[in-house]
Amino acid sequence: MRLDRQHHSEPTPPRLREFKKKGVQSIELASYFMMYTNLMTYPLKFRQHVLAIKEKLTYAKTASRFGVGMASLMRWNRRITPCTTHNKPATKIDMEALAQDVATYPDDYQYERAQRFGVSAQGIRHALKRLRVSRKKNTSASQS
């Protein structure tokens, strides 16, 4: 069993050594890289650094150096800022009418509401989620 010992008082983490071998000079950028490798979005500062290095290298070499996909590099080259979520309002379902329908018919299934509104049951589910109406938990009928 081989142990990698260093003469420093605080050992360098193995992944940080790996990034230094790949040419990541800044410890801050390496820590960003370690933090965001398992997440969906890389921070803007990291993207800018990778694209600055990409100017000197090919896509393939840059991708292998930083451990990101070539498709990500090409996408960042087109648009560097990450896309945000789309908070799109419901287009077909009138939310006030749906809230009134829930108050009037509390025991109805979502597919029954969907038939009344002329939309899909999935659309009703999403609209009820926006209204913060959860599914009924008890098995007995409510007192209407």
80 Cβ contact list (under 8 Å, min separation 6): 44, 47, 48, 51
* Enclosing H/E stretch for 104: helix 95-104
CA 56 to chain centre: 30
Q: Give the model's pLDDT for residue 119.
A: 92
What Rg value do the Cα atoms of the chain yield, rounded?
Answer: 26
Q: Give the model's pLDDT for residue 1.
A: 41
CB atoms near residue 128 (< 10 Å): 19
Give the start-to-end residue ranges of the domains of the chain.
Answer: 14-78, 95-130
pLDDT tens track, the chain, 144 positions: 444 444 444 444 555 566 666 665 555 555 555 555 555 678 888 888 888 888 888 888 888 888 888 898 888 888 887 776 666 665 788 889 999 999 999 888 999 999 999 999 999 999 999 889 887 666 666 666
CA 44 to chain centre: 15
CA-closest candidate to residue 42, choices 19, 66, 24, 23: 66
30/34 Cα distance (integer angstroms)? 6
Q: Give the model's pLDDT for residue 90.
A: 59
| Both tokens assigned to 104 | 């009037």
Q: Give the model's pLDDT for residue 6.
A: 43
| Both tokens assigned to 122 | 């999935």
Q: Which residue is it, tokens 């299934």?
A: 109
Q: Give the model's pLDDT for residue 24.
A: 59
The pTM for the full model equals 0.39
Q: Give the model's pLDDT for residue 86.
A: 66
